[in-house]
A and B are shown apart, each in its own frame.
Chain A
């Protein structure tokens, strides 16, 4: 027995040594070309080297709680593999520390490019700077990464434009279905930790504010600030609770005509809440064209949404990764924006308003959603 144990211990000790020595920690000298790229961010694009066509690409997503992120998860996996890369796609359950550690583990796994859909766009600076120092390209996905120099570009749908379209869709819907004004409306914003959310709101308000000022629109609750309208963590349940209390507090003798909703989940929460309060379905905006919402629009329960096809976003991101792989550097951005530390290149894609009128054309190339329109 003792001998057996001694043997066991010997074997495990040897394993330790082998495991330890096998991976001698090396002092990796960062490649100069890549360091220069991260130090001179204004002029992206001159890393001559590129990297191997089967390199590891890391994709850090915030969570899988909404359909667009679940789709991104699937598409990044399949499209990166199809392009010959080795993909590590992880989601962080909406927790900042988890996402930080996931990004670090992608660096460990030798990723050449890390695509980040941040949980909180301003809380990844330290980790991303480490990654950039290791010569890794960092691409923001769908959300701006703020408060750090370690970001090479952001692929997203134009968020101010999205807001403008939401505001316009709301106005058009009110005029079409709710007769003559003035209209009673309420405003909802997205999760404040997401840098897009204030931009959606700002964009929408550029359209709605003039109409509020001239009396066409009445925000009965008077809650006009983004901080009052915001929905923490984009949580539908919180939006529904806020709508419940707005309706019972301000609309006991009034009708609600329209609600500015920053995404589909919140729109459905608002519509559900209105139905429970005995109100007629208000005109709502939306975002993401989730399956459930596509059905609702088709059935006339939700007025509009905005499609930001995940497919387009993922394809654009992979296009940039391929350019980096070939050694062409970051392509020229469509615009730049100040993230608090530097001007970041934005690769902006156009969003698309979807209502019952154009829904069939909008999803003509999307067999999954066309299935819902029967």
Chain B
């Protein structure tokens, strides 16, 4: 057992949700007679949920600073609709429409950030206002009729990477390339970290870790790459992965990232140690609405049209992902990667229940229970002096 701990690193609690995720996927695969773990279903999972996960990225940061953003669904719907209408009525090229939409999203974020940061209005109130303003706005500008979106956008919402190169690989070569890059990048960062660390650690756990992760990525690459010809790891998934890398770096490696956690952990202490609390609030809220606009565009791409009810309830899905990912309601705790795992748990649950033919009504009930259970277990685990379930499985010599 101690060996497993060496391979996986010290923070075994972080793997609770990953285990739950894998278990869910396997259970559903068995129940549904092998329909869960297939190329096309995995591709669907990603392209059908990437937009919620994009929202969850921003929401994680908002929750870490101790706020909440209820307006993301409305902002996503509004920005998507602005783009669709601008392209249709003003004759803009599609990418100008996309840029316009992102600018609109960022401006909305700046507006909300101003209320939260400068005027000190709680994010809950500010964004509750925003939720109404922009839901009304989208219905107003669209006259509550769906507007067709430019076809080029389909790439972002449901597109696949191109096929190229030799056929003997038996899979989509773009996906294969992505997989190889991912493995190489992981191996590189691990070895780099090892070389830089001061303490002389053993090398073998890292090599085993790299091998394990390579197998996992390799398996996923194979799953995503061997679907119907012309399909690959979906483009919205690529966008999501790029964003995850960017935001992981921002939150873990930059001053701004440290400020987010500092402000969320203890606002006064952070302010006294020279952190600009207002600026942190402002930028986090701005970033959230920017990501909401991006999510809106991705959804419009997938749907072929922007509709007046786009975005209803998305904020709740995003918030659920963040909390299942182990963020603390009081702020200061949460990571990008865990949030993504939380989002994937919801996604796999959704998909599995649908494959089993469970209706939308009971699916809601089950998702609600899972949310409660996940957060409950998390709180139970983290109570002082109590070992986590995972901790019991892997007793530590050092404790």
Q: Which residues of A contact B (CB under 8 A)?
A: 2, 5, 12, 15-16, 19-20, 22-23, 25-30, 88, 90-93, 95-98, 100-102, 104-105, 107-109, 120-127, 130, 133-134, 146-148, 192-193, 198, 227, 230, 232-233, 340
Q: Do A16 and B228 form a contact, CB below 8 Å, given A101-B354, A105-B354?
A: no
Q: Measured between C-beta atoms, what is the minimum distance from A232 to chain B in Å?
A: 6
When C-beta atoms are compared, the residue in chain B nearest to A340 turns out to be B148
CA distance in complex: A146, B147 (Å): 11
Residues A90 and B359 in contact, CB atoms below 8 Å apart? yes
Q: Measured between C-beta atoms, what is the minimum distance from B388 to chain A in Å?
A: 15
Q: Measured between C-beta atoms, what is the minimum distance from A116 to chain B in Å?
A: 14
Q: Measured between C-beta atoms, what is the minimum distance from B222 to chain A in Å?
A: 8
Is B34's beta carbon under 8 Å from chain A?
Answer: yes
Residues A193 and B146 in contact, CB atoms below 8 Å apart? yes
Is B58's beta carbon under 8 Å from chain A?
Answer: no
CA distance in complex: A105, B26 (Å): 17
Q: Measured between C-beta atoms, what is the minimum distance from B373 to chain A in Å?
A: 20
Residues A93 and B364 in contact, CB atoms below 8 Å apart? yes
Residues A100 and B302 in contact, CB atoms below 8 Å apart? yes
Q: Which residues of A contact B307 (CB under 8 A)?
A: 96, 120, 122-123, 193
Is B91's beta carbon under 8 Å from chain A?
Answer: no
B39, B48, B359: the one within 8 Å of A100 (CB): B48
CA distance in complex: A29, B231 (Å): 12
A88, A104, A192, A198: the one within 8 Å of B44 (CB): A104
Q: Do A193 and B303 form a contact, CB below 8 Å, given A25-B38, A108-B40, A108-B44?
A: no
Interface size class of B (residues with CB under 8 A): 35 or more
A16, A22, A126, A193: the one within 8 Å of B309 (CB): A193
Residues A91 and B360 in contact, CB atoms below 8 Å apart? yes
CA distance in complex: A232, B357 (Å): 29
Residues A101 and B351 in contact, CB atoms below 8 Å apart? yes
Residues B303 and A96 in contact, CB atoms below 8 Å apart? yes
CA distance in complex: A107, B366 (Å): 23
- Flag the segment in B95-103, B116-124, B137-145, B195-203 that touches A: B137-145
Q: Do A16 and B26 form a contact, CB below 8 Å, given A25-B227, A126-B301, A233-B309?
A: yes
Q: Which residues of B contact A104 (CB under 8 A)?
A: 41, 44, 48
A29, A30, A147: the one within 8 Å of B305 (CB): A147
Q: Do A28 and B144 form a contact, CB below 8 Å, given A90-B357, A104-B48, A108-B40?
A: no
Is B92's beta carbon under 8 Å from chain A?
Answer: no
When C-beta atoms are compared, the residue in chain A nearest to B310 turns out to be A96
Residues B37 and A20 in contact, CB atoms below 8 Å apart? yes
Q: Can you list 15 pairs linking A and B with CB atoms under 8 Å apart?
A: A23-B29, A27-B226, A27-B229, A30-B228, A88-B357, A96-B307, A100-B302, A108-B38, A120-B305, A146-B305, A193-B144, A193-B145, A193-B307, A230-B144, A232-B308
Q: Which has the most chain A C-beta neighbours within 10 Å: B30, B37, B313, B364?
A: B37
Residues A122 and B30 in contact, CB atoms below 8 Å apart? no
When C-beta atoms are compared, the residue in chain B nearest to A225 turns out to be B143
CA distance in complex: A92, B312 (Å): 13
Give 1 or 0 for each of B110-153: 1 = CB within 8 Å of chain A CB.
00000000000000000000000000000100011110100000
When C-beta atoms are compared, the residue in chain A nearest to B29 turns out to be A19
Q: Measured between C-beta atoms, what is the minimum distance from B175 to chain A in Å?
A: 12
Q: Which residues of B contact A108 (CB under 8 A)?
A: 35, 38, 40-41, 44, 355
Q: Which residues of B contact A227 (CB under 8 A)?
A: 143-145
CA distance in complex: A232, B6 (Å): 58
Give 1 or 0 for each of B15-50: 1 = CB within 8 Å of chain A CB.
000000011001001100011011111001000100
